[in-house]
């Protein structure tokens, strides 16, 4: 079926599912504040945003490993728990939606499309962000990393989200900034779009992820032709 066929009744895809951190939300400042509180508690100097930002989409374990490189990547469970506890206190205090996200979401809504969120962030943390962003009643679904038995890159969260919103997979596009987002979409048979404005490590190569398309900025998604 052609892209236009899947857009019957509107200019944009009928259902768009988004990753959260690094896609809709610039949450790096909240996570950096979290890391530097943990380091300060141990008498260690703060780390700069630029050093930590690429790790944000990888989650609590990766952020904890980046915060304490002396661990050699071996992060004990209690350190991850500490990160999540401190992060819950910093949640929404420093970060914000990326520039252009609100205009893009408004354009989808004005076209009659619906959107939702599928993230690997724990659901309670993701839900805690929604009121401050004004998204709690606008997002048609919110799936966290612990909502279901599987998390991305497994396709279950995307398949469940599409079904919960009443859409076939063919009606949906998934937007994310990490390879596991694209792997999940491909495994679900869902069209995918790489958010190049998000967080990536130096060795990450989005071209190798085999998404349907890549986009440089949220503003570009105001154009219907930018969507796969």
Distance CA 155, CA 180 (A): 10
56 — pLDDT class (breaks 50, 70, 90): confident
Determine contact, residues 161/141, Cβ cutoff 8 Å. yes
17 upstream amide cis, omega within 30 of 0 = no
pLDDT, position 7? 52
Task: Give the tens place of pLDDT for each residue, 20-29.
Answer: 999 999 999 9
pLDDT over 50 at 194, yes or no = yes
Region 110-125: mean pLDDT is 96
Which tokens in the block code for residue 197?
């404005």
Specify burial of residue 118 (Cβ count, 10 A radius: 0-12, 13-18, 19+).
Answer: buried
pLDDT over 80 at 222, yes or no = yes
8 — pLDDT class (breaks 50, 70, 90): low
Residue with tokens 């309670």: 124
pLDDT over 50 at 167, yes or no = yes
Containing 114, the helix (H) or strand (E) segment is strand 114-118
DSSP state of 98: P
Determine contact, residues 152/183, Cβ cutoff 8 Å. yes
DSSP state of 15: E
Q: How far is CA 72 from CA 60, 150, 176, 189, 213, in A?
A: 15, 27, 28, 36, 35
Cβ-based neighbour number of residue 212 at 10 Å = 17
Q: Of these residues, 19, 30, 171, 181, which one is catalytic?
A: 19
pLDDT, position 4? 40
Does the annotation count 19 as an active-site position? yes
Region 167-193: mean pLDDT is 97
Say which residues have a Cβ less than 8 Å from residue 140's Cβ, sequence separation at least 6.
15, 114, 115, 116, 164, 165
Characterise 86 by phi-psi region: left (phi > 0), alpha (psi -120 to 50), beta (else). alpha
pLDDT over 90 at 191, yes or no = yes
pLDDT over 50 at 126, yes or no = yes
Determine contact, residues 109/140, Cβ cutoff 8 Å. no
151 — pLDDT class (breaks 50, 70, 90): very high
pLDDT over 60 at 1, yes or no = no
Maximum pairwise Cα distance, the chain: 59
Distance CA 102, CA 26 (A): 13
DSSP state of 21: B
pLDDT over 70 at 79, yes or no = yes
């Amino acid at each position: 079926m052609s892209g236009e066929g899947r857009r019957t009744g509107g200019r944009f895809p009928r259902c768009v599912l988004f990753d959260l951190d690094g896609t809709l939300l610039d949450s790096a400042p909240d996570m950096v504040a979290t890391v530097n509180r943990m380091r300060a508690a141990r008498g260690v100097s703060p780390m700069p945003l630029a050093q930590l930002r690429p790790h944000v989409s990888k989650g609590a374990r990766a952020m904890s490993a980046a915060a304490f490189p002396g661990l050699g990547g071996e992060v004990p469970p209690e350190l991850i728990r500490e990160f999540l506890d401190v992060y819950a206190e910093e949640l929404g205090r420093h970060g914000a939606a990326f520039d252009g996200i609100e205009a893009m979401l408004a354009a989808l809504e004005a076209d009659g499309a619906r959107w939702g969120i599928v993230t690997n962030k724990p659901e309670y943390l993701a839900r805690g962000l929604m009121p401050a962003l004004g998204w709690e009643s606008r997002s048609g679904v919110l799936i966290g990393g612990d909502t279901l038995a599987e998390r991305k890159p497994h396709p279950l969260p995307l398949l469940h989200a599409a079904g919960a919103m009443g859409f076939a997979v063919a009606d949906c596009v998934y937007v994310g900034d990490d390879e596991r987002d694209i792997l999940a979409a491909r495994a679900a048979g869902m069209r995918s779009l790489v958010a190049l404005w998000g967080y990536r490590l130096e060795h990450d190569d989005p071209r190798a992820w085999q998404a349907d398309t890549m986009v440089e900025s949220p503003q570009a998604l105001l154009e219907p032709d930018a969507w796969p």
